[in-house]
Chain A
């Protein structure tokens, strides 16, 4: 009944319990991570998201997704992105994170809260529950599920 009907978003998470069999039963799995070009910092598990995309690429159902700042890209960022060589990677615009440079755990929470409360690390209680105009919930990645 649900085979091929589920879009699964892994938001900067892990791989436990995931298998080729499960991925083949999904409509698609999107390994989602974040990057802020202002501070040149990725979310903490971005390399895992790329690795998992590669692991399950043979299924034809796995791809990675990078939420991205609105700020103009830089040559170094473009170079880094090109070097990744994951043709399935998609970029989406997101707001600037407000995280400090190198704060990968702060960036980790930007897939939930666009502007995490602690610029240095995660604050699970605040980032998961306190949403307002300055701390909007992150939903932009869901656009990947809109069927034409």
Chain B
């Protein structure tokens, strides 16, 4: 069984959650890359 760990801290959770959103709505390409076309959520002070 393949098991994947995704761990993100503070406002980094927004990036991880955007990645998971794209993964499960858009999927991966033939090379296993998840693409996005919008700017990733801005990272500033911790949430």
Footprint of B on A, CB under 8 Å? 1-3, 5-19, 21-22, 25-27, 44-45, 105, 108, 111-112, 122, 124, 141-142, 145, 147
Contacts and interface: CB of A to CB of B under 8 A. Distances in A.
User: Which of B2, B3, B4, B17 has the most C-beta atoms of chain A within 10 angstroms of its own C-beta?
Assistant: B17
A13 B24 contact: no
Given A8-B20, A22-B17, A22-B24, A14 B3 contact: no
A27 B3 contact: yes
Interface residues of B, number: 25
14 contacts: A6-B6, A7-B3, A7-B5, A9-B5, A10-B8, A10-B16, A11-B9, A13-B10, A14-B47, A15-B17, A17-B20, A19-B21, A112-B9, A147-B1
Given A6-B4, A9-B8, A22 B21 contact: yes
B8 A16 contact: no
Contacts, number: 94
Contacts of B1: 5, 147
Interface of B: 1-14, 16-18, 20-21, 23-24, 28, 41, 46-47
A29 to B, nearest CB: 9
Question: Which 10 residue pairs across A and B have the least CB separation, nearest first?
Answer: A13-B13, A17-B17, A11-B9, A9-B7, A14-B47, A16-B14, A25-B24, A6-B4, A17-B18, A8-B6
Given A3-B24, A25-B24, A147-B3, A111 B9 contact: yes
A108 B5 contact: no
